[in-house]
Chains A and B, each alone.
Chain A
């Protein structure tokens, strides 16, 4: 119902607390961060100011542009990897697994890891890929290689693998939802008309699954773009990401205005991506369970 004078009291009683909280601890902090991104630094102090120097520095200093471009590349690779692994899995769950019980069980086993310790799921790749790690020692003991290799860990590939591993469920969830909502009659009609399975997929299933694909791609891209743990644990010297830069601006480099500008950039990028993706079918939007 619309809030009327009569219902106003009940509405205020319910809503004033969460509303105030969201304004004070969510909206205001983002605004403070955005405004500090225009401040200047006069070592060792940060001075309130309104200038675009921080943003200009981010876009012109190769030290920063390299990292931003690399992070974009990694995030796109993670997104692509998650699609390549996640789409067939989602298709399998919806169209190949016929027993409802099995499908629920398998679906559950895909999404549950998403909420299980993100730190430890990243960390385990460190013990798998390390020089003394599980993969190397397994290959040495089976005689596949004679010396442990150091090529597996601390590079961009290890970072992409780890991030794909962490974020795959975000791809599978919305895909399963949209694939499940495709009326089976459409697929049967296509088959009855003599269209082969690949053309049926391409002409019927794939277009109808785009909403889920976009939703999954958005989540994996946005979250891996700002990921904090993987670059530190499994990334190497050529793997500095935006999150590492942010960390150092608020740590050793001590330049909060520049760090805030970079964080604002991430915020704006994510908002643009979310806005673009919400133009697609809302059916694909992620529900948490």
Chain B
């Protein structure tokens, strides 16, 4: 390997700085969650777990956490049912309007969430669905549907068609072929996109903000607390969310990249 020239060294340094820029803020959040002081200032005052204890004894926060978990689970389940069937249909059949349909379900991913939230709020108001966690679940499932569809379709496109034909020729019913050939080869893409949907739904703010009623999710609870001021408790619960999200996202990305 050639020695790096000056501009290459410069770029290595710059890139490492950008990587640091991505991680230092997260590290600061975690560090202050263990800091024994009500203000987030250096020098650090000592190690404590009391912010984590405060979180665990905050019943409002725990209720919000419970709501978030339920919403994320329901939204993910809906996304999977709708997304996998849509992906199978889109992969197998050609029909008029197919391209348009694909673009429409991907739209909420590049559109700021606030627009989707407002559109759904208007719609719910017109047909009389009250703002509630159910409304939030429908909103999340709709906004995140594109993730499952695109990821599962990408995997289906790599599936060897001859396997399906062979299976049919050997007398398997379509359901059997699905269960024994299609499903095993798209399984990791399904699990991977489910993990991603779960994480994103758990963290979602803009759609949730407009659709939720009295019961709030954890991000909305944190968001409204933050507008009043900072408490180290938020650092503690934030660090936990970040840690769990990291694990889920790494698993998800690994599974989605898996392209045997």
Contacts and interface: CB of A to CB of B under 8 A. Distances in A.
B is bound to A: yes
Nearest to A30: B119
Given A14-B85, A33-B118, A36-B122, A127 B101 contact: no
Contacts of A116: 26, 199, 203, 242, 245-246, 249
Contacts of B67: none
Interface in A236-289: 243, 246-247, 250, 256, 259-260, 263, 266-267, 270, 274, 287-289
B8 interface: yes
B111 A288 contact: no
Contact of B41 (A109, A137, A223): A137
Contacts of B115: 33, 226, 263, 266-267, 270
Interface string B219-255: 1001100110010001100100110011001101100
Given A18-B85, A29-B123, A1 B101 contact: no
Contact of B95 (A2, A32, A138): A2
Given A17-B82, A138-B42, A115 B252 contact: yes
A14 B88 contact: yes
Which residue of B18, B39, B110, B122 has the most chain A CB atoms within 10 A of its CB atom? B122
- Give chain B's interface residue range (CB within 8 Å of chain A): 35 or more
A150 interface: no
Interface residues of B, dominant DSSP: helix
A64 interface: no
Nearest to B40: A127
Nearest to B234: A123
Contacts of A288: 147, 150-151, 193, 196, 256
Interface string A84-98: 011011011100101
Interface string B63-105: 0000000000000000001110110110011110000010011
A26 B122 contact: no
B122 A33 contact: yes
A179 interface: no
Interface residues of A, number: 89
A26 B113 contact: no
B110 A130 contact: no
Contacts of B174: 10
B25 interface: yes
Given A113-B22, A124-B25, A226-B115, A88 B15 contact: yes
A123 B15 contact: no
A10 B114 CA distance: 37
A157 interface: no
A82 B141 CA distance: 29
B123 A18 contact: no
A100 interface: no
Interface string B1-44: 10011011001101100110111011011001000000111110
Interface stretch (A50-58, A180-188, A204-212, A227-235): A227-235
7 contacts: A1-B92, A88-B15, A110-B22, A223-B112, A243-B114, A263-B115, A288-B256
Interface of A: 1-3, 7, 10-11, 14-15, 17-19, 21-22, 25-30, 32-33, 36, 85-86, 88-89, 91-93, 96, 98, 106, 108-113, 115-121, 123-128, 130, 132-134, 136-138, 141, 165, 168-169, 197, 218-219, 222-223, 225-229, 232-233, 243, 246-247, 250, 256, 259-260, 263, 266-267, 270, 274, 287-289
